[in-house]
Amino acid sequence: MRKIMGLILIASLLFISGCSEKKENSTVSSGDVVERPVTVDTFGIVKAKDVKDIYLDFPAFVEDIPVKDGQKVNKGDVLLVMNYDEFKSQMNSTEAEINSLKLEIENNQLEMKNSQLILEKLKKDLKELQDYLKNNNHPDLKLLMSDLENARKAYDDSLKDLKTQQELFKAGTVSKEQLEMYERNAEKSRKSVNDIETALEKTKYNLQKEIENLELTINQNSVKMDGYENAKATCQDKIKSLESKIELMKRKIDKSYIKDNTIISDIEKAIVYDINYVKGENINTTKKVLSIVDLDSVIVEADVPEEFIKDVKIDSKVKIVPQADKSKEYSGKVTYISNIAKEKNGETTILVEINIDDNDGFLKPNFNVNLEISID
């Protein structure tokens, strides 16, 4: 009797277990519970984690589009042929302006060097003249001062001679004509002294004027030197600004997906989609050109009802069947289980992500798929 009751109890437990597994949309028979894993059946949508939206940040227009929306492409395949000669011209013009400014700086530096040499000579000449004037040892001054000394001596001698002749004239020993001759000699000597003194003052005046002119020229050249320095600084600032501009322009075309005048795929296996331009159309910097999705980043997202999530584990095996072709079958594993539940249409679900082990490119973003998640 106890054996019969035991068999009935076992049969009842197997029946109850079978009913519970059917609630989970799972398929299992009482004869192979141990050998065949139970599955959680659900639906999923193919998503891509790595999607690249391509924009152009420079003026261009479309010359050709050799691919179609949704086409599978490989790395290096041309997606779009463009013409951006206007932008290249802007770059060339900017580089030419930089070279012109650099040449201007070189010429400026050469002129500044020559002006510096001239300025140094002017300062040397000024100091020399100032010393001459201060010490009265300029060649012209020395000659005049020597002449003045001789003239004053001659004048003094002529005055002595005149005094002697005047005394002799009073004594009646010389004639009036002879006295007048000595008077003329004395006057001539006096005039010679005055002329040399005048020449000496004029020479000093001319030296002073020459010094003043030199000082003015030196000041003008100093201002000119400051002008060279300011012009150099201005050119350097312009060059720095233009170099930043050209660097920014180069960065705009220095992209992994730009090669010469084409946009290419920089992904090994990808799908191009959302092509927003046609041949001959100008490309707007604010409008996306196209998008590329990395097929190796394709995953499946599924919303698993909360009553079954306890049976889903990381690395759980998954069978994936696309609704687009139910004869195809792919394998995958659970890679992510969200820690947050969400409610939709009165049902609470948890997001699960599943990778695809053997994607041959058929599974494309937004495809609907049937999923069987194995429960160990």
Q: Are residues 111 and 227 in the same domain?
A: yes
Q: Are residues 61 and 116 in the same domain?
A: no
5 assigned to some structural domain: no
- For residue 249, the surrounding DSSP H or E stretch is helix 176-253
Per the document, the length of the chain is 376
Overall average pLDDT of the 254-268 stretch: 96
Overall average pLDDT of the 264-286 stretch: 95
98 assigned to some structural domain: yes
Q: Decide if pLDDT at 62 tops 60.
A: yes
| Of 301, 265, 299, 239, the residue nearest 45 (C-alpha) | 301
Q: For residue 19, give both structure tokens.
A: 């009913």
Residues 174-188: b if buried by 16+ CB within 10 A, e if exposed: beeeebeebeebbee
Distance CA 293, CA 301 (A): 16
Task: Please spell the DSSP secondary structure of 132-159, one letter per residue.
Answer: HHHHT--HHHHHHHHHHHHHHHHHHHHH
Q: Are residues 225 and 109 in the same domain?
A: yes
15 assigned to some structural domain: no
48 assigned to some structural domain: yes
Q: Are residues 72 and 106 in the same domain?
A: no
CATH code assigned at 325: 2.40.30.170
Q: Are residues 27 and 101 in the same domain?
A: no
Backbone angles phi, psi at 49, to 5 degrees: -80, -35
Q: What is the pLDDT of residues 28-53, one digit of tens each?
A: 444 444 455 589 999 999 999 999 99
Q: For residue 276, give both structure tokens.
A: 């927003």
Mean pLDDT, the chain, whole residue set: 88
- Domain that includes residue 339, residue range: 22-82+269-375
16 assigned to some structural domain: no
CATH code assigned at 223: 1.10.287
Q: Are residues 72 and 92 in the same domain?
A: no
| Of 76, 49, 80, 54, the residue nearest 269 (C-alpha) | 76
Distance CA 361, CA 272 (A): 13
Task: Please spell the DSSP secondary structure of 57-103, one letter per residue.
Answer: -S-EEEEE--S-TTEEEETT-EEEEEE-HHHHHHHHHHHHHHHHHHH
Q: Contact 317/359 with Cβ under 8 angstroms?
A: no
Q: Contact 322/363 with Cβ under 8 angstroms?
A: yes
Overall average pLDDT of the 180-193 stretch: 94
Q: Which of 200, 224, 252 is the last residue of a domain?
A: 252
321 burial (CB, 10 Å; 0-12 / 13-18 / 19+) is middle
Distance CA 150, CA 99 (A): 69
Q: Decide if pLDDT at 361 tops 80.
A: no
Residues 201-230: b if buried by 16+ CB within 10 A, e if exposed: eebbeebeeebeebeeebeebeeebeebee
Distance CA 89, CA 110 (A): 31
| Of 336, 335, 333, the residue nearest 358 (C-alpha) | 333
Q: What is the pLDDT of residues 299-308, one digit of tens each?
A: 999 999 999 9
The pLDDT value recorded for residue 99 is 97
164 assigned to some structural domain: yes
Q: What is the pLDDT of residues 216-231, one digit of tens each?
A: 999 988 888 888 899 9
306 assigned to some structural domain: yes
245 assigned to some structural domain: yes
Q: Are residues 101 and 230 in the same domain?
A: yes
Q: Are residues 41 and 136 in the same domain?
A: no
Q: What is the pLDDT of residues 322-351, one digit of tens each?
A: 999 999 999 999 999 999 999 988 899 999
Three-state helix/strand/coil letters over 287-331: CCCEEEEEHHHEEEEEEEECCCHHHCCCCCEEEEEECCCCCCCEE
Q: Which of 226, 252, 278 is the last residue of a domain?
A: 252
Overall average pLDDT of the 281-288 stretch: 96
Count structural domains, the chain.
2
The pLDDT value recorded for residue 298 is 92
Q: Which of 219, 252, 285 is the last residue of a domain?
A: 252
Q: Decide if pLDDT at 25 tops 50.
A: no
Q: Are residues 206 and 242 in the same domain?
A: yes
Backbone angles phi, psi at 19, to 5 degrees: -65, -40
| Of 284, 268, 266, the residue nearest 276 (C-alpha) | 284
The pLDDT value recorded for residue 288 is 97
Q: Are residues 41 and 148 in the same domain?
A: no
Q: Are residues 206 and 225 in the same domain?
A: yes
Local confidence band at 294 (pLDDT 50, 70, 90 cut-offs): very high
Q: Are residues 309 and 206 in the same domain?
A: no
The pLDDT value recorded for residue 296 is 87
What global pTM score does this model have?
0.62
Per the DSSP assignment, residues forming a β-bridge with 42 are 371
Give CA separation, 43 vs 67, 301, 303, 307, 323, in Å: 32, 9, 8, 15, 10
